[in-house]
Amino acid sequence: MIRQITNLFKHSDLNIAFRATNTLQQLSKKQTSKNPSGIYKLKCNTCNNVYVGQSDRSIDIRHKEYIRYLRTNNPLSAYAMHNLQNRHE
């Protein structure tokens, strides 16, 4: 098919350039999001306990919620509750 297209334009002033549209770079751009959701891990700075969570919202938004829970002493999350009860950072 490439040869047929090239032959169609052989006698014109147009130059045909072929470029792959499925390179690794292009495929990774499609899958990468600016605000990814998914599985995340939080680690307590004091006792090194780990909390693993999952969110369908952006990880950045979820992180801001945890910070807000800690600042306002709001026990809505297990991670915030651990830090508040044990007086950890």
Q: How many independent structural domains does the chain possess? A: 1
Examine the pLDDT at 86 and tell me if it is beyond 80. yes
Contact between 45 and 88 under an 8 Å Cβ cutoff? The reply is yes
pLDDT of residue 32: 52
Tokens at residue 55, please? 């969110």
The helix/strand/coil state of 53 is strand
Tell me the per-residue pLDDT of 20-67, one tens digit each, with 9 for 90 and over: 666 666 666 555 556 677 788 888 888 888 888 888 888 888 888 888
pTM score of the predicted model: 0.51
Quick one: average pLDDT of 75-86?
82
pLDDT of residue 69: 86
List the domain range (segments joined by +) for residue 25: 2-86
pLDDT of residue 16: 72
Tokens at residue 78, please? 């297990």
Nearest CA-CA partner of 75 in 89, 85, 87: 85
pLDDT of residue 26: 63
